[in-house]
C-alpha cells in the first residue's frame, strides 16, 4: 500500500541536491513531506500517524560519514531513538553500525539486516544473561561494559559458550553537559559507566583472561547536547586513558565517543538558521582534534540527530473547547503516542496542515488521555483551528514511537516512510485484538 506524488525524483537523491533541515514544507497553503501531501496520507492511513522522510534520514547519516571520512570510523546509529525495522534497514544499507541497549534491539537489527550484526555495539547498565548470550552468538562488534559485575558475567558467559568477548569499559569522565537531567549521563552521580580513575585497575584484572578481549574504551555523556566542547573534553580524557592501557599491554583498537549531538526543536520550518551540515562538521572537528594521533577506530553513536527532524506526528483535531479564559485544542494523538512534552517538558513546534489565516491566539494543544499531563503545548500562539483539521507535531522522529505505550488502552499509531516519490506503510496501526492478545482470563 503506497501513495505516489507523481514526482520523478528517486531514492537516494539526498547527496545530489540541497537538503533542508526538515522534510516538511508548505506547497501553497498545504503542508507536505518531501512533496507528498499530508492530507492525502491522513486520508489513506488515518491519524495519529507518524510520517518520516527517507531522504532526510539518508542525508543526516551521510553527513556523519562525510565528516569522519578522514579517520577510520564507524557511525553506529542509536537504535533506541527510533527502532523501526524499515529505518534500520535503510541505514544498514548505507553501512551503518548500530548501538543497542537490549536483546530486543539486537533482534531488530538481525531482522532488518543480519550482516549488520557484526557492526553492533551493546550498551546499557543492566544487561541480562540471555541478552549477553544472544549477542555473543551473533558475533557483535563490542560490548560496552558498565560495571565490574557485568564484566564478570560477560567472562562467565563467554567461557560457557566458548566465544571470546570483545569489550570496551564505559568510563564516566565526570564531564558536565548542558541538557535535561533525565538524559545527562556523564557525571559521577549517574548510574552509567565506571569512574575513569578506576578504569585502569579494572582493565588490569582482565589481562590474563582467556575469554575477555579488552578491545576498546567507551564514553557517553548524555543526549540533546548543543555544544561540542563537552564531547571534546570527554574524548581527551579517554585518549589519555588509552595511552595508559596500551602501556599496560592492552591492544586497544577502538574508541567509542558515544552520541548525544542535539537538534533545534524550537525553530520552525523555513527559519533557516539551524544547519545540520554545519553542526555535524563542528562536532566531527572537535572529536578529531581531541583524538589527535590516536591510532584506533572511532565509533560515534548518533540517534536523535539522524531521525528527530526527519519525522513528524500527524494528528486530527477532535474538539476545540473553552474553559474560562483557556482554549483547548483536543487532538486524537496523546501522551501515549508522544510522551516527550510530558516527560521532559520538551518543546515541539506544531503546525496546521492547511496554513491558517488571521490573528493568532494562545491555546493549549492536548490529547484525550485522562491525565492533566497529557499535552503537546501550553499557551502556544496559533491561528484559529477547528474540529477535523489536521496538525503536524514537528521533530517527532526520535523518542516518539519508540517511547509510545498503550496507556488508557489506546492502540499505537501507524507509521509511514516517504521515499522519493512514494509513501509506504512501514507499521500498520495496532488493533484492540492485538493489544489484548497476550492477556489471559
Q: What's the confidence (pLDDT) of residue 7?
A: 41
**Tens-place pLDDT, residues 318-352:** 999 999 999 999 999 999 999 999 999 999 999 99
Confidence of residue 187 (pLDDT cuts 50, 70, 90): very low
Distances (CA, A) of 79 to 100, 109, 111, 122, 311: 6, 9, 13, 11, 15
Q: How many independent structural domains does the chain possess?
A: 2
Q: Is there a single domain that holds both residue 65 and residue 25?
A: no
Distances (CA, A) of 61 to 17, 74, 362: 15, 11, 37
Q: Is there a single domain that holds both residue 88 and residue 40?
A: no
Residue 126 within a domain: yes
Confidence of residue 186 (pLDDT cuts 50, 70, 90): very low
Q: What's the confidence (pLDDT) of residue 283?
A: 95
Residue 440 within a domain: no
* CA pair distance 311, 309, nearest whole angstrom: 5
Confidence of residue 11 (pLDDT cuts 50, 70, 90): very low
Residue 417 within a domain: yes
Q: What's the confidence (pLDDT) of residue 170?
A: 95
Q: Is there a single domain that holds both residue 26 and residue 69?
A: no
Confidence of residue 267 (pLDDT cuts 50, 70, 90): confident
Domain coverage including residue 284: 54-307
Across the chain, mean pLDDT equals 92
Residue 231 within a domain: yes
* CA pair distance 437, 441, nearest whole angstrom: 11
CATH number of the structural domain spanning residue 185: 3.20.20.10
Confidence of residue 270 (pLDDT cuts 50, 70, 90): confident
Confidence of residue 6 (pLDDT cuts 50, 70, 90): very low
Q: Is there a single domain that holds both residue 40 and residue 77?
A: no
Give pTM, 2 decimals.
0.93
Percent of all residues in the chain with a pLDDT value above 90, rounded to a whole number: 85
Query: Does 413 score more than 70 pLDDT?
Result: yes
Q: Is there a single domain that holds both residue 142 and residue 32?
A: no
**258: its cell numbers:** 558515544
Edge-first strand listing for the sheet containing 30-33 = 24-27, 30-33, 36-37
Query: Does 18 score more than 70 pLDDT?
Result: no
Residue 420 within a domain: yes
Query: Does 230 score more than 80 pLDDT?
Result: yes
Q: What's the confidence (pLDDT) of residue 3?
A: 73
Instruction: Give the residue-averaged pLDDT of 14-36.
Output: 85
Q: What's the confidence (pLDDT) of residue 176?
A: 57
Choose the final residue of a domain: 258, 280, 307: 307
Confidence of residue 184 (pLDDT cuts 50, 70, 90): very low
**Tens-place pLDDT, residues 273-332:** 899 999 999 999 999 999 999 999 999 999 999 999 999 999 999 999 999 999 999 999
Choose the final residue of a domain: 291, 307, 323: 307
Confidence of residue 269 (pLDDT cuts 50, 70, 90): confident
Q: Is there a single domain that holds both residue 39 and residue 70?
A: no
Instruction: Give the residue-averaged pLDDT of 110-121.
Output: 98
Confidence of residue 183 (pLDDT cuts 50, 70, 90): very low
- Answer positive or negative: Cα dihedral of 329, 333, 338, 342: positive
Residue 406 within a domain: yes
Q: What is the DSSP letter of 81?
A: G
Q: What's the confidence (pLDDT) of residue 226?
A: 86
* Nearest CA-CA partner of 401 in 94, 67, 108, 181: 108
Q: What's the confidence (pLDDT) of residue 153?
A: 98
Confidence of residue 355 (pLDDT cuts 50, 70, 90): very high
Q: Is there a single domain that holds both residue 148 and residue 43?
A: no
Percent of all residues in the chain with a pLDDT value above 70, rounded to a whole number: 92
Residue 271 CB partners (closer than 8 Å, separation 6+): none
Greater confidence, 221 or 425? 425
* CA pair distance 103, 132, nearest whole angstrom: 8
Q: Is there a single domain that holds both residue 90 and residue 101?
A: yes
Q: Is there a single domain that holds both residue 333 and residue 258?
A: no
How far does CA 273 lie from the centroid of its chain? 22
**47: its cell numbers:** 491519524
* CA pair distance 28, 356, nearest whole angstrom: 12
Query: Does 222 score more than 70 pLDDT?
Result: yes
Query: Does 381 score more than 70 pLDDT?
Result: yes
SS3 content of the chain, % helix, strand, coil (to 5): 30, 25, 40
- Rg of the Cα atoms in the chain: 23
Q: Is 112 helix (H, G, I), strand (E, B) or coil?
A: helix
Where in the sequence numbering do the catalytic residues fall?
Answer: 370
* CA pair distance 138, 122, nearest whole angstrom: 11
Strands (E), 188-325: 194-195, 212-218, 254-256, 297-300, 311-323
CATH number of the structural domain spanning residue 366: 2.40.37.10
Q: What's the confidence (pLDDT) of residue 116?
A: 98
Distances (CA, A) of 86 to 44, 54, 92: 19, 10, 10
Choose the final residue of a domain: 307, 332, 367: 307
**Tens-place pLDDT, residues 75-87:** 999 999 999 999 9
* Nearest CA-CA partner of 218 in 305, 283, 153, 125: 125
Q: Is there a single domain that holds both residue 106 and residue 27?
A: no
Q: Is there a single domain that holds both residue 295 and residue 313?
A: no
Residue 441 within a domain: no
Residue 419 phi, psi dihedral angles, 5° rounding: -135, 105
Q: Is there a single domain that holds both residue 257 and residue 341?
A: no
* Residue at grid coordinates 592501557: 245
Question: Which burial class, exposed, middle or buried, applies to 315 when counting CB atoms under 10 A from its CB (0-12, 13-18, 19+)?
Answer: buried
Confidence of residue 223 (pLDDT cuts 50, 70, 90): confident
Residue 293 within a domain: yes
Q: What's the confidence (pLDDT) of residue 175?
A: 77
Amino acid at each position: 500500500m503506497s501513495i505516489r506524488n507523481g514526482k520523478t525524483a528517486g531514492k537516494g537523491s539526498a547527496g545530489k541536491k540541497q537538503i533542508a533541515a526538515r522534510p516538511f514544507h508548505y506547497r501553497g497553503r498545504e503542508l507536505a513531506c518531501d512533496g507528498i501531501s499530508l492530507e492525502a496520507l491522513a486520508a489513506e492511513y488515518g491519524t495519529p500517524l507518524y510520517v518520516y522522510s527517507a531522504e532526510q534520514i539518508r542525508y543526516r547519516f551521510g553527513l556523519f560519514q562525510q565528516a569522519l571520512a578522514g579517520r577510520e570510523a564507524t557511525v553506529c546509529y542509536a537504535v533506541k531513538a527510533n527502532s523501526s525495522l524499515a529505518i534500520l534497514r535503510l541505514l544498514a544499507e548505507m553501512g551503518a553500525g548500530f548501538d543497542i541497549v537490549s536483546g530486543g534491539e539486537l533482534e531488530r537489527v538481525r531482522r532488518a539486516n543480519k550482516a549488520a550484526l557484526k557492526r553492533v555495539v551493546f550498551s546499557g547498565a543492566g544487561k541480562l544473561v540471555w541478552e549477553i548470550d544472544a549477542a555473543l552468538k551473533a558475533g557483535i562488534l563490542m560490548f560496552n561494559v558498565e560495571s565490574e559485575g557485568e564484566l564478570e558475567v560477560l567472562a562467565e558467559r563467554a567461557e560457557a559458550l566458548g566465544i571470546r568477548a570483545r569489550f570496551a569499559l564505559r568510563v564516566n569522565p565526570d564531564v558536565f553537559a548542558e541538557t535535561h537531567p533525565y538524559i545527562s549521563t556523564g557525571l559521577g552521580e549517574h548510574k552509567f559507566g565506571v569512574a575513569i580513575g578506576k578504569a585502569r585497575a579494572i582493565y588490569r584484572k582482565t589481562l590474563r583472561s582467556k575469554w575477555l578481549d579488552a578491545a576498546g574504551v567507551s564514553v557517553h555523556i548524555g543526549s540533546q547536547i548543543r555544544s561540542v566542547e563537552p564531547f571534546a573534553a570527554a574524548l581527551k580524557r579517554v585518549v589519555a586513558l588509552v595511552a595508559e592501557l596500551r602501556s599496560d599491554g592492552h591492544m586497544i583498537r577502538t574508541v567509542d565517543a558515544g552520541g548525544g549531538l542535539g537538534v533545534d526543536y524550537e525553530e520552525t520550518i523555513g527559519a533557516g538558521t539551524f544547519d545540520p551540515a554545519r553542526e555535524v562538521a563542528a562536532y566531527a572537528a572537535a572529536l578529531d582534534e581531541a583524538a589527535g594521533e590516536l591510532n584506533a577506530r572511532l565509533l560515534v553513536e548518533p540517534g536523535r540527530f539522524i531521525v528527530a527532524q526527519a519525522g513528524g506526528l500527524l494528528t486530527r483535531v477532535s474538539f476545540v473547547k473553552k474553559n474560562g479564559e483557556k482554549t483547548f485544542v483536543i487532538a486524537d494523538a496523546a501522551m501515549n503516542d508522544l510522551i516527550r512534552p510530558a516527560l521532559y517538558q520538551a518543546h515541539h513546534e506544531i503546525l496546521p496542515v492547511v496554513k491558517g489565516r488571521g490573528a493568532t491566539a494562545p491555546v493549549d494543544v492536548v490529547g484525550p488521555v485522562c491525565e492533566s499531563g497529557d499535552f503537546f503545548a501550553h499557551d502556544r500562539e496559533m491561528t484559529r483551528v477547528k474540529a477535523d483539521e489536521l496538525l503536524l507535531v514537528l521533530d517527532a522522529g526520535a523518542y516518539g514511537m519508540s517511547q509510545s505505550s498503550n496507556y488508557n488502552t489506546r492502540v499505537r499509531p501507524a507509521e509511514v516512510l516517504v521515499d522519493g516519490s512514494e509513501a509506504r506503510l512501514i507499521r500498520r496501526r495496532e488493533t484492540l485484538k492485538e493489544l489484548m492478545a497476550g492477556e489471559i482470563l
